[in-house]
Structure formats: structure tokens, C-alpha cells
């Protein structure tokens, strides 16, 4: 009976540990970042190397996870004030600050080693991403709406990181991929800032460009959606080196861009939380479909 109980206790411990690890590393966000990196890799690679893909996937996840852990260590008191974050492992007390710091260091070191084994430039951009996210973006969130600009820099690295991992070079191709995801960050995070405005206000986070859920913010969201659409079509004009987009691919990108634009216009007219939530979903769908279309366009068309 005691053995049976101990087995159940160990199983519960493992289950809880996995859950807390996924939560403190922000599993869904980390997976989406890995997806972007793999898309960039597939756009540059001529052959698929499983070992490189695994190193990029695991190393990328650990680097994003480390950034998120450092972020939650720094913001633990603010997370405790918000409904959305008060039950995270650190503010809830399930993971101590010291344990979280050790875990972040392990993730950073192992992630950097895996990325360095691909090539030094990949590790360098991974390290830059962690530095910008934890040292620039995180502290600026309680000071100025420009934090979103600072956060867009590390947020735009994953798509281009995959290209650098495949080629070991940085040029116009990964630069274009960076630019696409950079512009996309603004409507995406401003929509989140709009939808979670009241919760962010409790912690003193300044996420919206005007500081309010007003017409000015809605206009800027709309403008950045348009900029994202334009930048996403640049490879169709044959001026981005080896990064190309066929006419068919460009038409598909334009169509999903119109869908993205529709929800931005809807937020501009209604300026309510429901429209902001729909724009969040539309933005995630747009960047995911864009990356899929880009990859399929290279390999199938």
C-alpha cells in the first residue's frame, strides 16, 4: 500500500513539474517561436538535416524559455497583481526565485551550446534575443509604450534565425524575414495590450502607443497592418536575393493580408475588446499562414 501511494505521489510530482516547466517557459509562445525558426530554416536549406533541425528546435525553445523565466523573475511582484498571471509558478510560490534562476541559467547555457553547434552566428543572435528581451523590453514595460518597439526586436529574430542557422550568413534574405516579423509585432501586441488593458493597468504596464484604447491607437494598429502586408510581398519583386515568392504565393499572401486588415479595420470602427480579441487571433493566423505559404512556395511551386 505504501509503495502504491509513493508511486502515485511520484507520478503527481512529475506531472506537476512538467506543467510548471511548460508554464514558466511559456510553452505555446516558445513553440510558436520554434515554428518561425523552422520556417526560416526551410526557406534557406536545400537539404534537410535532422540533427540541425533538432538542435534549432530544442536550442530555440530553451533560449525562449530562458527569456521567459528571467522575465517572470523580474516581474514576479507585478505578475501577482494581475488575474492573468497571479497563478504562474513564481508568484504562486510553486517555484522559488532561486530555483527559477538556476533553471533559466541551465536553459540559456544548453540553448547557446546547441545553437553554437549549428554555427556561431545563430548562437550570437540567440544571445542578443535574450539580452534585448530581459534587459531592455522587460524594464521598459512599466516606463514607456516604446517597450513594444524594444520587444519587437527580439520578437522578430526567430524567423531570420532559421535562415542564419541554415546558411551561417546574414544578408538581405534574413533581413527581410526579420522585417516582416518586426512590423507584424506591433498590431499583434497592441491588440493584446488593448484586450488586456485593465489587467496591464493593475501592474502599471504601458503597452498601447497612446496609452489609451482610443482612435489614435486604432489608427496606428491599422497602419502597421498595412506596412506588414507591404513588406510581406517584397520577395515577389525579385530584389531579396535567394528569398523569392512566386505570383501564386504573393496572391495568397495578399489574400490573408486582407483578412488581417479586415479585423484591424473592425477594431478601428468598433474600438471594443471583442474586436481586439479577434485581431489577436487574426494576427496569429496571418503570421502562421504566411510562413507556411512561404515554405510551400519554395518547395512545391
Residues 112 and 117: their CA atoms lie apart, in Å, by 8
Which pLDDT belongs to residue 10?
67
pLDDT tens digits, residue range 215-247? 999 999 999 999 999 999 999 999 999 999 999
Residues 215 and 265: their CA atoms lie apart, in Å, by 11
Residues 157 and 182: their CA atoms lie apart, in Å, by 8
DSSP 8-state class, residue 244: -
pLDDT tens digits, residue range 11-34? 777 788 888 888 898 989 999 999
pTM for this one?
0.89
The arrangement of secondary structure in 10-170, i.e. its CATH architecture, is Orthogonal Bundle (1.10)
Sorted by sequence, the CB contacts under 8 Å of residue 17 that are 6+ apart come out as none
- The C-alpha angle with vertex 69 and arms to 160 and 18, in degrees rounded to 5, equals 100
pLDDT tens digits, residue range 68-111? 999 999 989 888 888 888 888 899 888 899 999 999 999 999 99
Percent of the chain past pLDDT 90, that is, above it, reads 73
Are 57 and 162 spatial neighbours (Cβ–Cβ below 8 Å)? no
Which pLDDT belongs to residue 1?
40
* Cα atoms found within 13 Å of the Cα of residue 222, Cβ hemisphere only: 15
Q: Where are the domains of the chain?
A: 10-170, 175-301
Burial of residue 50, with CB atoms counted within 10 A of its CB: 0-12 exposed, 13-18 middle, 19 or more buried: exposed
pLDDT at residue 278 is higher than 90: yes
pLDDT band at 49 (very low <50, low <70, confident <90, very high): confident
Amino acid at each position: 500500500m505504501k509503495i502504491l501511494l509513493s508511486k502515485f505521489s511520484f507520478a503527481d510530482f512529475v506531472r506537476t513539474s512538467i506543467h510548471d516547466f511548460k508554464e514558466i517557459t511559456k510553452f505555446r509562445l516558445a513553440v510558436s517561436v520554434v515554428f518561425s525558426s523552422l520556417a526560416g530554416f526551410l526557406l534557406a536549406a536545400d537539404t534537410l538535416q535532422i540533427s540541425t533541425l533538432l538542435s534549432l528546435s530544442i536550442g530555440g525553445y530553451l533560449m525562449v524559455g530562458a527569456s521567459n523565466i528571467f522575465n517572470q523573475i523580474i516581474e514576479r511582484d507585478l505578475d501577482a497583481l494581475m488575474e492573468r498571471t497571479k497563478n504562474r509558478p513564481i508568484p504562486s510560490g510553486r517555484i522559488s526565485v532561486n530555483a527559477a534562476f538556476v533553471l533559466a541559467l541551465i536553459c540559456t547555457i544548453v540553448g547557446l551550446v546547441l545553437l553554437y553547434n549549428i554555427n556561431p552566428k545563430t548562437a550570437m543572435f540567440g544571445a542578443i534575443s535574450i539580452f534585448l528581451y530581459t534587459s531592455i523590453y522587460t524594464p521598459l514595460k512599466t516606463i514607456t509604450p516604446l517597450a513594444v518597439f524594444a520587444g519587437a526586436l527580439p520578437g522578430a529574430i526567430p524567423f531570420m534565425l532559421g535562415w542564419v542557422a541554415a546558411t551561417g550568413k546574414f544578408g538581405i534574405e534574413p533581413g527581410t524575414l526579420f522585417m516582416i516579423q518586426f512590423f507584424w509585432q506591433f498590431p499583434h501586441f497592441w491588440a493584446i495590450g488593448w484586450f488586456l488593458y485593465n489587467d496591464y493597468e493593475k501592474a502599471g504596464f504601458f503597452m498601447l502607443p497612446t496609452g489609451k484604447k482610443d482612435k489614435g491607437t486604432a489608427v496606428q494598429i491599422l497602419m502597421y497592418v498595412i506596412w506588414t502586408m507591404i513588406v510581406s510581398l517584397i520577395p515577389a519583386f525579385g530584389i531579396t536575393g535567394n528569398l523569392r515568392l512566386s505570383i501564386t504565393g504573393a496572391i495568397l499572401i495578399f489574400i490573408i493580408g486582407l483578412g488581417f486588415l479586415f479585423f484591424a479595420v473592425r477594431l478601428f470602427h468598433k474600438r471594443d475588446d471583442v474586436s481586439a480579441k479577434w485581431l489577436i487571433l487574426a494576427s496569429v493566423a496571418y503570421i502562421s499562414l504566411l510562413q507556411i505559404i512561404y515554405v510551400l512556395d519554395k518547395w512545391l511551386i
